[in-house]
């Protein structure tokens, strides 16, 4: 029987109603290739996770993987954190929200390391009892453009300051850096058990991390788009793969 030597990193996926002239109305499941490339370069095996409704099936998915990436995507349903939808809320996908709340709980219970990116940091925060700003315009003092209008995905945008005592600072060996930025929502109240470890210059939270085990790290920018050309970003994925490897070896 063949056994994989590298850890399997599950990546949550988006769903979209395709506007195909061949098969109109077909629902597709997808994820940006940048996530796949970042995991591969970091030494892991990428494994796409389509959203499922059954808890037992979702458990089977999480049992199969060694680490979890919560990818970017649509807005989180504000009812998940006790708010009515405001005027500037974007499109939501309740099916994906409910699925990711399940897999976050399952992965945490099984001690699987978790990395959340963009929407991923937001759903991690909501899953643990935190709240979100439904649009950046609702944040007092927010004066930086957080959704860059450039087509080059790895173009650097605004600056982020990182808590020097944080795991994130240790991982990337930096206390400040420029990042890309593609979001219109952000964390409002940090979930219990988590701390904010990075901020943009206008005070918007750019990273959170769990204060104990398991390894749970959320990042608001898109390091997967930068990992290939910006070497400072690759260690984020290498840290996840390293944690997943320890889990994999420990289970043998």
The answer to whether 158 is a known catalytic residue is no
* 209-228 confidence digits (pLDDT tens): 999 888 999 999 999 999 99
The answer to whether 146 is a known catalytic residue is no
DSSP letters for 46-62: EEEE---S-HHHHHHHH
* 27-69 confidence digits (pLDDT tens): 889 999 999 999 999 999 999 999 999 999 999 999 999 999 9
Please report which confidence band the pLDDT of residue 15 belongs to, taking 50, 70 and 90 as the band edges.
confident
Catalytic residue among 100, 206, 209, 224: 224
Catalytic residue among 118, 128, 209, 210: 118
- Ordered by start, the domain boundaries in the chain are 8-250
Mean pLDDT score of the chain, rounded to an integer?
94
Catalytic residue among 128, 146, 210, 222: 222
* 83-101 confidence digits (pLDDT tens): 999 999 999 999 999 999 9
- Dist CA 66 CA 47 (whole Å): 10
Question: Is 8-250 a domain of CATH 3.40.50.880?
Answer: yes
- Dist CA 42 CA 235 (whole Å): 8
* 117-166 confidence digits (pLDDT tens): 999 999 999 999 999 999 999 999 999 999 998 878 888 999 999 999 99
The answer to whether 142 is a known catalytic residue is no
- Dist CA 119 CA 154 (whole Å): 18
Distances (CA, A) of 40 to 47, 207, 240: 10, 23, 12
Half-sphere exposure of 73 (CA within 13 A, CB side): 27
Burial of 249 (0-12, 13-18, 19+ CB in 10 A): exposed
Q: Can you tell me which residue has the tokens 């769903």?
A: 15
Please report which confidence band the pLDDT of residue 1 belongs to, taking 50, 70 and 90 as the band edges.
low
């Amino acid at each position: 029987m063949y056994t994989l030597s590298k850890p399997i990193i599950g990546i949550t996926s988006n769903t979209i109603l395709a506007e195909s002239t061949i098969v109109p109305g077909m629902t597709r499941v997808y994820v940006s290739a940048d996530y796949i490339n970042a995991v591969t370069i970091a030494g892991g095996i990428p494994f796409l996770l389509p959203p499922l409704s059954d808890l037992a099936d979702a458990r089977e998915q999480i049992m199969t993987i060694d680490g979890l990436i919560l990818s970017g995507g649509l807005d989180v349903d504000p009812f998940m954190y006790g708010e009515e939808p405001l005027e500037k809320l974007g499109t939501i996908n309740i099916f994906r929200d409910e699925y990711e709340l399940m897999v976050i709980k399952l992965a945490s219970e099984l001690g699987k390391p978790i990395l959340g990116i963009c929407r991923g940091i937001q759903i991690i925060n909501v899953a643990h009892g935190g709240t979100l700003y439904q649009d950046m315009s609702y944040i007092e003092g927010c004066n930086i453009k957080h959704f860059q209008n450039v087509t080059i995905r790895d173009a650097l945008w605004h600056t982020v300051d990182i808590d020097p005592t944080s795991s994130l600072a240790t991982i990337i060996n930096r206390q400040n850096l420029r990042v890309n930025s593609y979001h219109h929502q952000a964390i409002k109240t940090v979930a219990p058990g988590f701390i904010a470890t990075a901020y943009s210059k206008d005070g918007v939270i750019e990273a959170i991390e769990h204060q104990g085990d398991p390894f749970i790290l959320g990042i608001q920018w898109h390091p997967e788009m930068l990992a290939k050309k910006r070497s400072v970003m690759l260690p984020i994925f290498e840290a996840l793969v390293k944690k997943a490897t320890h889990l994999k070896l420990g289970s043998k």
